[in-house]
């Protein structure tokens, strides 16, 4: 499966929504992946209008990630999103959240490789667009079966495999084991992408060296830094690395992102969703804690937009609460 860049945006629930993915894609990314979509709920129409729009169907370089445990519903969901313009479909077998694995979805599927294969075969057989798979190394240290699952998934028609270098039982603790991903790379011929703790060009380069992977997937490293994937890709390729936006340019970018979130979610929900993104942007320029708190507790969008230029454009030492 060809990629425009070896640096991809990971799906993060509650973070990599449509406004954020559009922003990251605008800087440049090999692929951006939607937040996890529950397959059965989607097919049965238990979605709001906004949730359907969230998929970004038809957008170039976008993958729609599906989750579920029933091959029938996964295949039906795949048909639905492919018919509506999805360019790539990703199967979630990596989410460690208790509410997901409690429903025998996400990384819980790694405990039953035969059932996981039936699900993969159902999705791959239902559509003509590329199908990818995202997993962890295994359920726990006693069942590191990612390489075996990857080999079987390749045989079922999966076009790319993303491996988070932790087990499910690790959640996000400790460090991702990039070297362990090499076993998956050695087991298949399709592209393999390393994921977990990759935040900059140095960590990306190390992950690629240890894993032998064809690309990297960045998640938390892009929070408050939607330009980071483009910078990593440029450095890996030996191209001039674009400078991150600063001052007035940064304030304008954050304002546009903020307004896009309000437009997408509506004002009430948008204010709540935007708060975490604003916090990450403000942390990135080391805004004074009092000013940060003041901006994040403002109730009117117009007040937030008036406060952003001063907070993001001023020299670090001058970023104080009024």
Q: Does 242 reside within a domain? A: no
CA diameter of the chain = 62
Q: What is the pLDDT of residues 109-148, one digit of tens each?
A: 999 999 999 999 999 999 999 999 999 999 999 999 999 9
Q: What is the pLDDT of residues 176-219, one digit of tens each?
A: 999 999 999 999 999 999 999 999 999 999 999 999 999 999 99
Q: Specify whether 163 is located in the same domain as 262.
A: no
Across the range 75-102, mean pLDDT stands at 88
225 has binding-site annotation: no
pLDDT for position 50: 47
The model's pTM: 0.92
Q: Does 1 reside within a domain? A: no
Q: Specify whether 213 is located in the same domain as 275.
A: no
Phi, psi of 217 (to 5 degrees): -120, 125
22 has binding-site annotation: no
Q: Does 80 reside within a domain? A: yes
Could you list the residue range(s) of the whole structural domain that residue 303 is in?
247-318
Q: Specify whether 121 is located in the same domain as 156.
A: yes
CATH number of the domain at 174, please.
3.20.20.70
Give catalytic residue positions.
95
Spatial separation of the C-alpha atoms in residues 14 and 217, rounded to whole Å: 17
pLDDT for position 95: 86
Q: Specify whether 24 is located in the same domain as 172.
A: yes
Share of the chain above pLDDT 70, in %: 93
Mean of per-residue pLDDT scores for the chain = 90
Q: Specify whether 149 is located in the same domain as 48.
A: yes
Map tokens 């199908």 to a residue.
Answer: 131
Instruction: From 176, 202, 237, give the residue that closes a domain.
Output: 237
CB–CB of 24/222 below 8 Å?
yes
Q: Specify whether 183 is located in the same domain as 85.
A: yes
170 has binding-site annotation: no
Domain count, the chain: 2
pLDDT for position 54: 66
Spatial separation of the C-alpha atoms in residues 108 and 97, rounded to whole Å: 10
65 has binding-site annotation: yes
| Residue 47 confidence (pLDDT) above 70 | no
The pair of three-digit structure tokens given for residue 47, joined into one six-digit string: 């979605």
Q: What is the pLDDT of residues 244-262, one digit of tens each?
A: 999 999 999 999 999 999 9
Higher pLDDT, 13 or 177: 177
**Of 293, 291, 277, nearest to 225 (Cα)?**
277
Q: Specify whether 285 is located in the same domain as 219.
A: no
Q: Specify whether 96 is located in the same domain as 225.
A: yes
115 has binding-site annotation: no
């Amino acid at each position: 499966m060809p990629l425009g860049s070896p640096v991809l945006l990971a799906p993060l629930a509650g973070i990599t929504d449509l406004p954020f993915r559009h922003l990251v894609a605008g800087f440049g990314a090999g692929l951006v992946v939607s937040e996890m979509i529950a397959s059965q709920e989607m097919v049965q129409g238990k979605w709001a209008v906004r949730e359907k729009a969230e998929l970004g169907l038809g957008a170039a370089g976008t993958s729609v990630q599906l989750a579920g445990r029933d091959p029938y519903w996964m295949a039906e969901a795949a048909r639905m999103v492919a018919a509506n313009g999805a360019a790539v479909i990703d199967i979630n077998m990596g989410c460690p959240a208790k509410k997901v694995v409690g429903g025998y979805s996400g990384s819980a599927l790694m405990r039953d490789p035969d059932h996981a294969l039936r699900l993969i075969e159902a999705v791959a057989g239902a559509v003509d667009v590329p199908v990818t798979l995202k997993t962890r190394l295994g359920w726990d240290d006693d069942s590191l079966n990612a390489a075996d699952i990857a080999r079987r998934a390749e045989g079922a028609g999966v076009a790319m495999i993303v491996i988070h270098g932790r087990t499910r039982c690790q959640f996000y603790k400790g460090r991702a084991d990039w070297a362990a991903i090499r076993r998956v790379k050695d087991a298949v011929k399709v592209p393999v992408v390393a994921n977990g703790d990759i935040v900059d060009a140095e960590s990306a380069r190390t992950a690629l060296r240890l894993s032998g992977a064809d690309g990297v997937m960045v998640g938390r490293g892009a929070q408050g830094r939607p330009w980071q994937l483009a910078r990593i890709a440029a450095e890996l390729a030996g191209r001039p690395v674009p400078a991150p936006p600063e001052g007035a340019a940064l304030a304008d970018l954050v304002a546009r992102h903020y307004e896009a979130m309000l437009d997408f979610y509506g004002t009430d929900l948008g204010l709540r969703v935007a708060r975490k993104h604003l916090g990450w942007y403000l942390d990135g320029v080391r805004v004074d804690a009092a000013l940060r708190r003041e901006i994040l507790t403002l109730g009117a969008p117009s007040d937030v937009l008036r406060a952003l230029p001063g907070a993001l454009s001023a020299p670090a030492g001058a970023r104080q609460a009024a």
